[in-house]
Amino acid sequence: MTQSNRRQWIVVAIVVAALAGLVALGWTMRGRFLPVEVGSTPPEVHATDMRGAPVRLSSLRGQVVLVNIWATWCGPCRQEMPSMERLYRTLHPQGLRIVAVSIDAAPGKLDPDGRMGGDVAGFARELGLTFDIWQDPGGAIRRDYRTTGVPESFLVDRGGRIVKKVIGATEWDDPATVELIRRLLRE
């Protein structure tokens, strides 16, 4: 083998090793780039409740939970909230938990997209919302759940798996959804 051939083989080996390293790195980090989908485990949520106390989604493990990501400035969020409240009033006695996580910046502050923080408590009072409302003013949940916008919702079963994902507003108390959640609550 000539000196030139050896150099070519060394270059090929280096390129192959570099590509293999990139593939391995991509494989190990795929969870940071793939969408959060049905069948997957929801990422942890670190937020605060309306009193400012820290809360985590993992504290609700073993329960059926509807996680809704929303903001006060979002028209479709306002549109779907009354149906979420009706769903909650119907199925909370059987164990349904609804956690609506606001991504609003703190009042008087701007969010990463330049929107002024909203009055989350006022919004909840105005709509008569009685389910859990959490606040994530830094919007980490958007990054962790890789959302495309708001509202975006994830229905999680008792085993901690996402069984339904909804992008955009929906009527949460429609008969098919109510029956699905009733089934999950019986399991």
Model pTM score: 0.82
For the stretch 145-187, pLDDT in tens is 999 899 999 999 999 999 999 999 999 999 999 999 999 999 9
pLDDT digits (tens, 9 = 90+) for 51-61: 999 999 999 99
Burial class (CB in 10 A: 0-12, 13-18, 19+), 176: exposed
- The domain locations on the chain are 1-34, 36-186
Which CATH number applies to 36-186: 3.30.470.30, 3.40.30.10, 3.40.980.10, 3.30.360.10?
Answer: 3.40.30.10
Whole-number pLDDT of residue 28: 59
Q: How confident is the model at residue 18 (pLDDT cuts 50, 70, 90)?
A: confident
Q: Scanning the structure block, which residue is given the tokens 């485990």?
A: 41
Q: Is the pLDDT of residue 32 over 80?
A: no
**Strands ordered across the beta sheet of 162-167:** 54-56, 46-49, 132-135, 97-102, 65-70, 152-156, 162-167
